[in-house]
Amino acid sequence: MRKFIIWFVLFQKRILRKPMFQITLLLIPLLIFLLYSFAKDNNALIDVAIFTEDENGYAEDFVENLVNDSTDVVSFYICENEDQLRRDVLMEKVECGYIIPPEIDKLVNEFYRDGDMQNSSLDGIVKVITRNSSVSVKVVNEIVLGEMFSCAAFSILDDFMHEKHFNDMSENDANSKLKGYFNNNRHRQMMFAFEYADGSDNIMLNQSGSNYYMLPVRGMLSVLILVASMSGVIMLDGDDKKGTWGRIRVVKRPFFNYLYILLSVFPVAFCSLIAIFLTGLSTDFVREMLIMSTYMFLAAGFANFIYVFIKSIYVYCTLIPILVVVSLIVCPVFVDFGDIVKPVKFIRSILPTAYYLQSVYSFLNQVKLFFAALLFSSMGIILEKYKPKVKY
């Protein structure tokens, strides 16, 4: 055991001298710092400009309501004139800009009263200026539509009451009473609670003020671990060419290769784990440790498994970007294409990163991660052991 510990420490020292591992390890704090500084400087994910000519009427209140409802995801600000709004959209300062007409309340009420939507003069009450039609613009449209509905909500009730009880509503104070009841019942409540697959609280989404730039960190770190495992193979190949480990018996080589890759993943996995705890993305300590260690075995097993089939290190190197790019797109790290293009999910089943990301909040997927690690690790070792050897 003591021998193994000495070997482990010496091996880690050796690894940390390699530029490729230095780059990979340096990337972790760099990444975190970069994303923290993004959050510090930026107020919102989507900035939206808004303008109205109305200075004292309802449109002014409408605009102020939107500004007050700004969050760290969508933030509105008022433009002095339409030209500024258009300029800000053109200059990509904002995602889109909204021009709110004076007397918007009247127009919206007329729109909702026009039951069969035949009055085409009411089309396009609000104009949105945008460079292109993106998902972000559609989300902001929904926010503005929600505010427009708020303009009309009382009128819908008022109209309904007049339809049903015209005489009662004609009394002097009926309308103000109804308005009073309506306002008394306007309580904003939390309508959705976000959870992970295992039912635990999704703090990132439930708490306001979370640093949303940190969302892809876990995914990016898991990809880095994958890269580290493949870099381990590159280092092993370099050592083999120099004959560094020539004294190790051939029978033990398959297991040694696997252990070598596993140990080269260790520093990156360790730093990633620290980063996960520091960024507040962690669940509980034991679970994080457990899945990270299993993922380490899986990444090493996966890299070793590929190495059994691809012995040319340059061909192996070309696989790194392919695997990384596919992992970033499919697993998902930045945007989940699997939500849009379903077959993407089949590709996930061959990528270690997906197993890790899905296992964090799901016991079933933790079991899958464990078996994937076992399968790739054992297959790599067995295939290497029983592979026909080339005779010179």
Partner 1 sequence: MVLEYFKLECKRVLRLFPKIFLVTIFVGAVIGGIVMISIRREPKGISGITVGVVAEESDIRFIDLGIYLVEHTDDLRYVCKFSKVTEDEGKQKLESGVIDALLIFPENYIKSVYNGNEKPLVLRFGSAQSGISSLLFKRLSDVIANYMMEAKAGVYGLQDMYENWNYIYKHDSDELAERYAMKIFSRKKMIVEERVSPTNNLSVVHYYASAGLVLIFLFWGLNCGSVLGVQEDVLKTLLRRIGLSIHKQMLLKFISLFLLFILNFFFLLIIILFLQNIVTYFFFPVNCIVFIKILPAILLVCSFILIVYELFGDGVGGMLFIFFSTVIMGFISGFFYPSSYFPEWVQYLGRFLPTGVLFDYVSACISGQNIFAPLINILLYTFAFLAALLYGIHIRLVASGTVKLKAK
Site for partner 1 in 118-177 (CB under 8 A): 123-139, 141-150, 152-154, 156-157, 160-161, 164-165, 168, 174, 177
Site for partner 1 in 44-83 (CB under 8 A): 45-47, 71, 73-74
Site for partner 1 in 255-274 (CB under 8 A): none
Does 306 participate in binding partner 1 (rule CB under 8 A)? no
Does 292 participate in binding partner 1 (rule CB under 8 A)? no
**DSSP strand pairing (46-52 vs 96-100):** parallel
Q: How many CB atoms lie within 10 A of CB 375?
A: 14
In this chain, which stretch among 3-11, 50-58, 179-187, 382-390 interacts with partner 1, using CB under 8 A?
179-187
- 253, 362, 374, 375: which one binds partner 1 (CB under 8 A): 362
Site for partner 1 in 83-122 (CB under 8 A): 86, 89-95, 108, 111-112, 117
Does 383 participate in binding partner 1 (rule CB under 8 A)? no
Site for partner 1 in 193-222 (CB under 8 A): 193-197, 199, 202, 204-205, 212, 215-216, 218-219
Nearer to partner 1, 135 or 286 (CB): 135
Question: What long-range pairs does 155-159 form, CB within 8 A, spacing at least 24?
Answer: 155/109, 155/112, 155/113, 156/112, 157/182, 159/113
Query: Does an H or E element contain 32, and which?
Result: helix 19-41
Does 20 participate in binding partner 1 (rule CB under 8 A)? yes
Q: State the number of CA atoms in the 13 A half-sphere of 292 facing the CB.
A: 26
Question: Residue 380 class from Cβ within 10 Å (0-12 exposed, 13-18 middle, 19+ buried)?
Answer: buried
Nearer to partner 1, 157 or 385 (CB): 157
Q: What angle do CA 306, 338, 359 make, to 5 degrees?
A: 65
Nearer to partner 1, 314 or 392 (CB): 314
> How many residues contact partner 1, by CB under 8 A?
132
Question: What CA–CA distances, in Å, run from 130 to 42, 65, 77, 90?
Answer: 21, 21, 15, 8
Does 360 participate in binding partner 1 (rule CB under 8 A)? yes
- 56, 121, 185, 250: which one binds partner 1 (CB under 8 A): 185
Does 370 participate in binding partner 1 (rule CB under 8 A)? no
Q: How many CB atoms lie within 10 A of CB 153?
A: 13
CA pair distance 4, 327, nearest whole angstrom: 34
